[in-house]
Each structure stands twice: as structure tokens, then as C-alpha cells.
Amino acid sequence: MYEKIPTGEMTREEWLRLRKTGLGGSDAGAVCGLNPYSSAMKVFRDKTSDDVEELDTEAVRIGHDLEQYVAERFTEAAGLRVRRSNFMYRSTEHPFMIADVDRLVIGEDAGLECKTASAYNADKWAEGDIPLHYVMQCYHYMAVTGKRVWYIAALILGRGFVYRKLEWDDRLIGELIRMEEAFWNRHVLTGQIPPPDGSKACDEVIEKYFGSAKAGEMALTGFDGRLERRREILKEIAGLETEKKQIEQEVKLAMGEYELARSGNFRVSWSNVDSTRLDTKRIKEERPEIYADYAAVSHCRRFEVKAA
């Protein structure tokens, strides 16, 4: 069962603040560690901070603007009519789970998630595939609404249109609920930040929390083993980088003056590229007033590890 919260008259800020009161479908993949563009740490910050942040990228805007078109293409391809909901759903059994769905299917116990994808990601939708974080999003919506089927439709820009059908899975949905409940209780309710996972999203969150350093030194206990492993990894990376460069040099020698080359499985280009760069050192020396007018100061923290 679920509670229906009307959203039709809400302002954008009110809707964003309502989303902070639970885990939505777009959070599910991150909490499960399956979203390549987010992380559990990022979800934690979103749910526990007072900031009302909204992604405002070109990809997000394209997805929003084309949602109705994707829904219409789905109706055309699947022969199923859909409608908007204008409600946010909250599970009464698991109130930390909320759902803001794209469309509901008319005449069927089902919903629809609308996506747009770059042509570069077309392979992720090939042969019946669905990106895993989208799979978790759809099962999250099923868990909240109780609907037995969820469709996902994707417009692959410039390449085509696909749709898939996901059906209720007791084991998967039960595990998803367990993971979301553990995340909510252990981290959001307690204010305990989740462990990092090595993702760029974690870097961004840590920078927001600890963007400025204060003077002084602390005792770093229990990290010698991890830092030693880091040193080993750097050696391995350096070795692999050398091997990579050697292969590239061998190919360049074989290509000589040719711009393009083709082997059995690969196509190689070694093209002419012209680029223009400002000589900032010279500008600073010869025209310091211009340099001062246009110089932009950025702030960050530099991480270094040296032998004690």
C-alpha cells in the first residue's frame, strides 16, 4: 500500500524538498552501488543537507523536454496508452521509499519510465539489455506502487527507439528493500556518512564537505596498510602506462606518415591537430594589468602522500 501526495500545485522547490524525505527511484541504483554517475555518499548528502540541489545539465534538460515524445513513441510501438500521475507515492510499509513516476499505463497494472540516451551509449541497450541502475529504478517503483509490471522506453538520440518490459521479482525486490532500508537507517537517520567507493561522485561530495583545510597535523592511525597498497598500485599503473606507450610507439613506427590504419579488429588514426594556447607566462610578464583583469583564482585541496 502507498500514500498519494499531490504534486500538481507544488513549486519546484517544494517538490525537491519533498524528495529529500525518502529514497526515490533515481537513488536506488546509487544505494546499490550500480549507478556509474552517482554514489551512496552522494545520495546521503542530498538527503541530509539543507541544500536543494537540482542537476541543470544539457542531458537532464533533453531528457525532460523529450519525455512526452518518448511516451508517445512507446504508445505507438507497444500499443499501450499512458497517462501522467501528478502524485508522489510513499510506501506505507516502508515510508523511506518514495516514487515520482513518469507515466502509468492505462488498463494495465503497470508503469512507464521514459529515458533518452546518447548514441555513444547505444550498446548499453543492445539485445534486450537495460543499464543496471535503470533496472533498479523500475523495480523500486514496483516496490512502492505494488504494480506487477514496469516498462522502460528509451530514445537513443540519432539511432533509434527501444522499450523493455520488467516483471515483478520477489527476490530482487525484497533485496532492494533490504538495502535501501539499511542505507536509510544506518546512514541517513544517524548522520553517518557511507564509506567511499572510489567514484568521481564521492570525490565531489568529499570536496563539498571538506573543501578547505585548517592548519595543524593529526595522527593518522590504522592506514599504513592502505597507503602501502596505494604505493603498490601506483607502481603497477606506471608499469602499465609504460607498456601502453610502447604499444602506441610500435604502431606509430608501423604507420609512418599515414594518418589512418586498419587492422583486423581495430581502426587507428594518427591525425594532424592544430591547437592555440595563450602564453600566460608571457602575458603576466609583459601585460600584467591584462593578466590581473582576467586571472581567475580557483580553490581546491591537493592530496599528496610521501614517505615519513
Confidence of residue 306 (pLDDT cuts 50, 70, 90): confident
Print the domain residue range for 22: 2-209
**Residues 14-37: tens digit of each pLDDT:** 999 999 999 999 999 999 999 999
Together in a domain, 157 and 289: no
Do 34 and 154 lie in one domain? The reply is yes
Do 239 and 193 have their domain in common?
Answer: no
296 or 105, greater pLDDT: 105
Q: Distance from first CA to last CA of the chain, Å, rounded?
A: 59
* Count of the separate structural domains present in the chain: 2
Decide which of 155, 177, 209 is a domain's last residue.
Answer: 209
Residue 301 is assigned to a structural domain of this protein: no
Whether 202 maps to a domain, the answer reads yes
Q: Is the per-residue pLDDT at 55 higher than 70?
A: no
Residue 306 lies in a domain: no
Last residue of a domain, one of 209, 236, 260: 209
Q: Do 179 and 51 reside in the same domain of the chain?
A: yes
Domain annotation covers residue 217: no
Give the CATH number of the domain where residue 131 resides: 3.90.320.10
| Residue 27 and residue 146 share a domain | yes
- Written as nine digits, the cell of 75 is 504508445
Question: Is residue 299 domain-resident?
Answer: no
Q: How confident is the model at residue 51 (pLDDT cuts 50, 70, 90)?
A: confident
Q: Is residue 308 part of a domain?
A: no
Do 151 and 266 belong together in one domain? no
Average pLDDT for the chain: 94
Domain assignment present for residue 129? The answer is yes
| Per-residue model confidence as pLDDT tens digits over 133-150 | 999 999 999 999 999 999
If asked whether residues 123 and 39 sit together in one domain, one would say yes
Q: How far is it, in rounded angstroms, from Cα 188 to Cα 192? A: 7
Is 50 domain-assigned? yes
Residues 95 and 165 in one domain: yes
Residue 86 backbone class (left: φ over 0; alpha: ψ -120 to 50; beta: rest): left
Quick one: 43 and 14 in the same domain? yes
Considering the domain architecture, whether residues 94 and 14 belong to the same structural domain is answered as yes
Residue where one domain finishes, among candidates 178, 209, 240: 209
**Between these two residues, 90 and 62, which has the higher pLDDT value?**
90
In terms of domains, do 135 and 50 share one? yes
- The model's confidence at residue 275, banded by pLDDT at 50, 70 and 90, is confident
- 26 with 156, same domain? yes
Q: According to the model, what pLDDT value does residue 304 have?
A: 82
Give the residue with greater pLDDT, 308 vs 9.
9
